[in-house]
Amino acid sequence: MGSSINTIRDLTEQDYKWGFVTAIEDERIPRGLNEEIIRLISAKKREPEFMLEWRLRAYRYWASLEKAQAEPKWANVHYSPIDYQNIIYYSAPKQKPGLKSLDELDPEIRRTYEKLGIPLAEQQRLAGVAVDAVFDSVSVATTFKDKLAELGIIFCSFSEAVEKYPELVKKYLGTVVPHTDNFFAALNAAVFSDGSFAYIPKGVRCPMELSTYFRINAAETGQFERTLIVADEGSYVSYLEGCTAPIRDENQLHAAVVELVALDNAQIKYSTVQNWYPGDKQGRGGIYNFVTKRGKCAGVNSKISWTQVETGSAITWKYPGCILQGDNSVGEFYSVALTNNYQQADTGTKMIHMGKNTRSTIVSKGISAGHGQNSYRGMVKILKGAVGARNYTQCDSLLIGDQCGAHTFPYIEVKNASAHMEHEASTSKIGEDQLFYLQQRGLKLEDAVSMIVNGFCKQVFRELPMEFAVEAQKLLGVSLEGSVG
């Protein structure tokens, strides 16, 4: 198979095409982290007192963990120690304060988003996606705001939410992911500079997909955004998230937090296509994607569904989970994680069943190529009160070549005997016979690989909104660069 391996490598080698840097002036604060920095960030954002207090509490907690060297070490990923004092925690494009319309947005940033194919302009209403775009640390534009406001839907940057809807923020911030949750969640709570906020009022079905686009541009900065979505009783929202970053030699830290709250009969569908810069073929550079995402099905019959396609980042450490508190609530996790070259991913989910008749579904598809290491780590916990809980877990790994690795770490904890648990797992390799079969039918080698991989991921792709699914399939093809080794 030697020469077909080389052909796959030649044919699929494509460079990271989102790796450009935008030349804009930015405003930064000094590097490093201490209470002064926290105060500075809070002051820059003109935050109310309660936010500063909250940040400081988180900072002190994080500092105590850092002192105790309590950065989590259990994940199956390897990297040199991060110097937290050598990171710039806030960087913002310089712009006139108080943007009145999108026309005032820095043309360079607009061009960046156009290159990325994000419909920022209102006239692209037909795209049916409302976008909040976060550039480095701050949110630069939110489209369709007025249209959504007519329905009572709030969709804005986190900063704006803190300013205009402090009561909502106060009520829900940190209720799903408290600052004490983990090292990176504490760090995020202390320094997060912006993010997105959405509130869907009672009984409202959000008529369009809400979307956030994250872009790290500045060098030596970290990105720490925070997203909070609250779906009030009987409401529905579908939310999309995409991310890219320029090519840089050094590693950059991205430590985000996402909190979702679904009240009685509410539904949240959260989809991510994560394409942070993965580093080069030798494993230099790339984003450390250390992210905490969790949803709380607080109300009865509520449902939270996570779908993620993770193709980027040097290291991914991420476990979008659901706390199934309300009776009959439903949690879902559909994931495709691809690691190529020297990428590492330790990703999975946590399903915590508390309410009666709660159900969860986990479908995880890991693809390892090159020297990539891919771990599924999932926890399903059935608490005592969760009578009649059910979980179905399926985790499949696909190996391309013989230098990569796939690992599975399922944790199952059942405290109620009425629970039904199912766990299926498989590991397979793209075989020479499969490739030859498809080639004999006229398909080029790279199309054959891409077809097999797409077939493998189908169960997850069909959970994505249509446009995103097409995007994800293309991305997967591109990300298989240098695969098979």
Partner 1 sequence: MDLLEIRNLHAEVGGNEILKGIDLTVHPGEVHSIMGPNGSGKSTLAQVLARRESYQVTAGEILFDGKDLLSMKPEEAACEGMFMAFQYPIEIPGIGNAHFLRSALNAMRKYRGLDELDAIDFLPLFREKLKLLDMDERFMNRSLNEGFSGGEKKRNEILQMAILEPKLAILDETDSGLDIDALRIVAQGVNAMRSPNRAMIVVTHYQRLLNYIIPDFVHVLVDGRIVRSGGAELALELEEKGYGWIETEARQTAPASA
C-alpha distances out from residue 208 to 69, 78, 354, 482, Å: 44, 40, 31, 37
Nearer to partner 1, 345 or 445 (CB): 445
69 binds partner 1 (CB under 8 A): no
Task: Out of 300, 421, 438, 478, point to the residue binding partner 1 (CB under 8 A).
Answer: 438
The correct pick among 1, 70, 149, 470 for binding partner 1 (CB under 8 A) is 1
Applying CB under 8 A, does 338 fall inside the site for partner 1? no
Which long-range contacts link 175-181 to residues 24+ away (Cβ below 8 Å)? 175/259, 175/261, 175/296, 176/259, 176/260, 176/261, 176/294, 176/295, 176/296, 176/323, 177/257, 177/258, 177/259, 177/292, 177/293, 177/294, 179/54, 179/57, 179/58, 179/61, 179/62, 180/61, 181/292
Nearest-10 Cα torsion for 61, 380, 270, 318: 50
The answer to whether residue 437 forms part of the interface with partner 1 (CB under 8 A) is yes
CB burial of residue 146 (10 Å; 0-12, 13-18, 19+): exposed
CB 277, min distance to partner 1, A: 29
Q: How far is the CB of 463 from partner 1 (least distance, A)?
A: 14
424 binds partner 1 (CB under 8 A): no
> What single DSSP character describes residue 82?
P
**From the CB of 10, what's the least distance to partner 1, in Å?**
12
Helix (H, G, I), strand (E, B) or coil at 354: coil
CB atoms closer than 10 angstroms to residue 317 = 24
Alpha helices by DSSP H, listed for 175-308, are 183-191
Q: Is 476 in the site for partner 1 (CB under 8 A)?
A: no
Which residues 364-383 are close enough to bind partner 1 by CB under 8 A?
A: none
Pick between residue 304 and residue 445 the one whose CB is nearest to partner 1: 445
Beta bridge partners of 409: 377
Cβ distance to partner 1 smaller for residue 257 or 484: 484
Say how far apart CA 340 and CA 6 lie, in whole Å: 15
Nearer to partner 1, 46 or 444 (CB): 444
Q: What is the C-alpha to C-alpha distance for residues 195 and 199, in angstroms, rounded to an integer?
A: 14
| Closer by beta carbon to partner 1, 288 or else 456 | 456
Query: Can you tell me which of 84, 392, 409, 436 binds partner 1, judged by CB under 8 A?
Result: 436
Pick the stretch among 113-121, 160-168, 382-390, 434-442 that binds partner 1 (CB under 8 A).
Answer: 434-442
**Which tokens is 371 given?**
């020297």
Counting contacts by CB under 8 A, is residue 432 touching partner 1?
yes
Angle between helix 445-461 and 466-479 (nearest 10): 140
The count of residues interacting with partner 1 (CB under 8 A) is 26
Is 168 or 443 the residue whose CB approaches partner 1 more closely? 443
Nearer to partner 1, 13 or 15 (CB): 13
Reported as type and span, the H/E element at residue 256 is none
Does residue number 433 form part of the binding site for partner 1 (CB under 8 A)? yes
CB of 454 to partner 1, least distance (A): 7
Torsion of CA 312, 253, 379, 372, to 10 degrees: 40
Q: How far is the CB of 69 from partner 1 (least distance, A)?
A: 44
Q: What is the DSSP letter of 80?
A: P
Subset of 439-468 contacting partner 1 (CB under 8 A): 439-445, 447, 451-452, 454-459
Q: Name the residue among 144, 125, 148, 123 with its Cα closest to residue 133.
A: 144
Contact call for residue 400 and partner 1 (CB under 8 A): no
Nearer to partner 1, 270 or 456 (CB): 456
- Both tokens of 219, joined, read 């060098």
Contact (Cβ atoms closer than 8 angstroms) between residue 215 and residue 117: no
In the complex, the smallest distance separating the C-beta of residue 481 from partner 1, rounded to whole angstroms, is 21
**Residue with smaller CB distance to partner 1, 76 or 427:** 427
We find the least distance from the C-beta atom of residue 435 to partner 1, in angstroms, to be: 9
Token code pair at residue 138? 């701050």
From 28-36, 194-202, 368-376, 429-437, span contacting partner 1 (CB under 8 A): 429-437
Binding site for partner 1 (CB under 8 A): 1, 3-4, 431-434, 436-445, 447, 451-452, 454-459
